[in-house]
Amino acid sequence: MVGLIAQKLNVSQVVLKNGDIVAATWLKIKPNLITQIKSKAKDGYNALQLGSGAKKRYNRPEKGHLKELDARVMQEIKTDNIGSVSRGDKLDLSLFSVGDKVIISGISKGKGFAGTIKRHSFKSGPSGHGHDHHRQPGSIGPMGIARVLPGKRMSGHMGSDRITIKNLQIVAIDKSGQKLAVKGSVPGIRNSWVLISKHE
């Protein structure tokens, strides 16, 4: 796998060469640095740790790890192609071209504590005729089992999950603005960081 760390900008429309208009998500591709190279001999697997952006202040562990490099966010991508790169190398938008199929991973938008209707698309109870069962979840198990079975769909924290979407297509690239557009939606809020990668 080869990839880059990107920042989600906004959702817009892109006109393709055949005249079709598609919804697309624009991603800002700032230059990525290779902050660490992991090898199978030392770490048990081959991977590249990528870094993007810059911070005003780094804590001591970050200073010790990055040394002279700058990286606001770091993510790891597995690849067997570690012999041709070295720590500190820059990766940019030239890795991708229009028409490439990519895989994008990001943290979904957080919804906070949500009930079963919003979280799991449960039906609501009757709203009239004396009923008081409107948005309650209802029964959560049989009488014979004096506990709640694992995996029971109930109220709880919704969102803020790591989501991976495969086979998204790059429909436009703006080299001057260091941006690319991906057909469809991408997980995460505006200005959140995502990992965009493609198969070698």
Structural domain of 33 = 2-198
Residues of the chain with pLDDT > 90, as a percent, come to 68
Give the tens place of pLDDT for each residue, 84-93: 888 988 988 9
Give the tens place of pLDDT for each residue, 154-172: 999 999 999 999 999 999 9
Give the tens place of pLDDT for each residue, 91-108: 889 889 998 999 999 999
CATH number at residue 41: 2.40.30.10
| Mean pLDDT in residue range 127-152 | 90
Amino acid 1: pLDDT: 62
- Structural domain count, the chain: 1
The tokens of 175 are what? Answer: 């080299």
Distance CA 29, CA 181 (A): 11
Is the pLDDT confidence value at 200 over 80?
no
